[in-house]
Structure 1
Amino acid sequence: MSTVEGHALSAELNAKIARLEARLDAIAAAHTRVKFASSLAAEDMLVTHVILTRKLGITVFSLNTGRLHAETLGMIDRVRERYGYEIEQWYPDAAAVETYVKDHGLNAFYESVDLRKACCGIRKVEPLNRALAGVEAWVTGQRREQSVTRTELDEHEHDGARGIEKYNPLAEWTEADVWAYLKHFDVPVNPLHARGYPSIGCEPCTRAIRPGEDSRAGRWWWESRDSKECGLHIPIVAVEGGEGASSALPSR
């Protein structure tokens, strides 16, 4: 039986690992073009490890928002060094960023939920739509346990806005499962996790959490719990104007 730090992994976790590998194998076999969206945080490094060590035909990409921590960007190099793989990076439209900053200010996202979601729309949602243009399916590292907005997360859903399939193969995993796996397989992890950041996003929108706080309490901590999504996983994102284009900004 697999062991981690001298202890045997539970039969339940070994079964989850087997299901995860089987799911990812099946996803890769079922689609000609499929991508995995990685935030370079713990869950996504786990999925990246499975994809790359099993040599699956799933492209790993990340959204370089221009506001990420240096430690997060450093994970690109660590993946290259460990697996010999270059993670595909997608960037926001420079003109859209410039207009937002000119009209509202660099850190206007602190002022209202609408302005925060508008920033996420420019730096995350629109680049995601371009990254997924022409693919048949995409994979995420989301888990049900992560937040109140994800408790009903399905392992397989249809992304109707983009007309593609979406898979959340870690939906059933707990935080303890994730870290047991990462430690056992010595998977590279973002050093921010050791500093109290269980969930990692853009630097100005992420903080370390206090003992006993929800794992996503450090994301957009000035907002209520039920608004803490950036729009990447909201199924009503409108896609207009042809393949890959989108209306990422919320109504204001």
Structure 2
Amino acid sequence: MSDQSSVTEHTSPVTELVEVTPPDHVPSTGSGTVRKRSLDELRALAERGAAELRSGAPDEASPAEVVAWVAANVSPRLAAVACSMADAALPHLVAEAIPGVDVLFLDTGYHFLETTFTRDEVARTLDVRIVDVKPEKTVREQDAEFGKDLFARDPALCCEMRKVAPLHKALGGYEVWFTGVRRDEAPTRTNTPLVTFDERNGLIKVNPVAAWSFDDLIAYATAHEVVVNPLVANGYPSIGCAPCTKPVAPGEDPRSGRWAGLAKTECGLHV
């Protein structure tokens, strides 16, 4: 029988696992009751944030300024970081202003061992709470219903079930989610704003490192001694599920190793 979609939570160090079912998951950083604002209020706040942070302008706000703006305008209980665990730069950046922030990790069942190692190191070394967001079906259950290796036959459906739908449920209790999307990653991301309203998920989407290059990312990780997925040094600048991620040759689009040989370049989380 299929388990319900669930999130597994663990803090640093990893000592406790708790299973809950989204969207009833309530962020637990801090204490007391916090009212989540209406969609109209959040849309207005996102618009104000884009203006105040000068999103897209030559003098747009720095990543730290973007995070500070969120910390000043949103309860820490209602903010979350989505992290692929290619590195810990974004969780570190956000935790500097929002200690104990929830970090959502999409536990698809197809990750490289290096990726789960990075997740565990993030939980061990940073002041964050890792939330493992799991699909409704295990890999075995998905294979039984849709046939083995759905990712090779219908990657869009596989991503929808194992990434997009679980994240949508997990985001239900938040007002803001931070992402590590960068404009230099792919043509589909060139116009990424610092702050926008995410209509599909019903909350504010914040991309504080949108203007960073890959070198900027590595420089930040080095300067702050935060963990980087070991695969990055082996030609994987963009890391997703193991069956759908290949190394990238020097000079190639950083995301060209994702779903290599297919027209697909996005899993669906950011489009």
Could you state the TM-score of these two structures normalised by the residue count of structure 2? 0.72
Q: Which runs of 4+ in 1 moved over 3 A?
A: 53-58, 97-100
Look up the match of 1:35.
Answer: 80
Residues 166 and 85 from structure 1, CA distance in 2 versus in 1: closer, same or farther, beyond 3 angstroms? Answer: closer
For residue 112 of structure 2, the aligned residue among 69, 83, 91 is: 69
Alignment of 1:7-26 (within 5 A): 19-26=62-69
Contact 1:206 1:220 in 2 (8 A): yes
Residues 86 and 35 from structure 1, CA distance in 2 versus in 1: closer, same or farther, beyond 3 angstroms? Answer: closer
Look up the match of 2:46.
Answer: none
Look up the match of 1:108.
Answer: 150
2-side partners of 1:103 and 1:55: how far apart?
41
Contact 1:34 1:136 in 2 (8 A): yes
SS at 1:144 equivalent: coil
Alignment of 1:1-252 (within 5 A): 19-32=62-75, 33-42=78-87, 45-56=88-99, 58-83=101-126, 85-94=128-137, 97-98=139-140, 100-111=142-153, 115-224=154-263, 227-234=264-271
Contact 1:28 1:56 in 2 (8 A): no
Contact 2:99 2:127 in 1 (8 A): no
2-side partners of 1:36 and 1:86: how far apart?
10
Residues 81 and 59 from structure 1, CA distance in 2 versus in 1: closer, same or farther, beyond 3 angstroms? Answer: closer
Shift of 1:103: 4.0
CA deviation vs aligned residue, 1:189-216 (integer Å, no higher than 9, x gap): 1001111110000000001112222111
Instruction: Give the gaps of 5 or more residues in structure 2.
Output: 1-58
CA deviation vs aligned residue, 1:153-200 (integer Å, no higher than 9, x gap): 111111112221111111111111111111111111100111111000
1-side partners of 2:150 and 2:256: how far apart?
20
Contact 1:144 1:171 in 2 (8 A): yes
Contact 1:28 1:57 in 2 (8 A): no
Aligned residue-pair number? 211
Contact 1:28 1:58 in 2 (8 A): no
CA deviation vs aligned residue, 1:107-157 (integer Å, no higher than 9, x gap): 13223xxx1110001110111012101211111000010001111111111
Q: Which amino acid aligns with 2:266?
A: E
Between the aligned residues of both structures, percent identity stands at 38
SS at 2:205 equivalent: strand
Shift of 1:98: 4.9
Shift of 1:57: 6.0
Q: Which amino acid aligns with 1:40?
A: M
Look up the match of 1:249.
Answer: none
Contact 1:60 1:87 in 2 (8 A): yes
Residues 175 and 143 from structure 1, CA distance in 2 versus in 1: closer, same or farther, beyond 3 angstroms? Answer: same
Contact 2:80 2:102 in 1 (8 A): yes
1-side partners of 2:100 and 2:131: how far apart?
14
Residues 81 and 98 from structure 1, CA distance in 2 versus in 1: closer, same or farther, beyond 3 angstroms? Answer: closer
Could you state the TM-score of these two structures normalised by the residue count of structure 1? 0.77
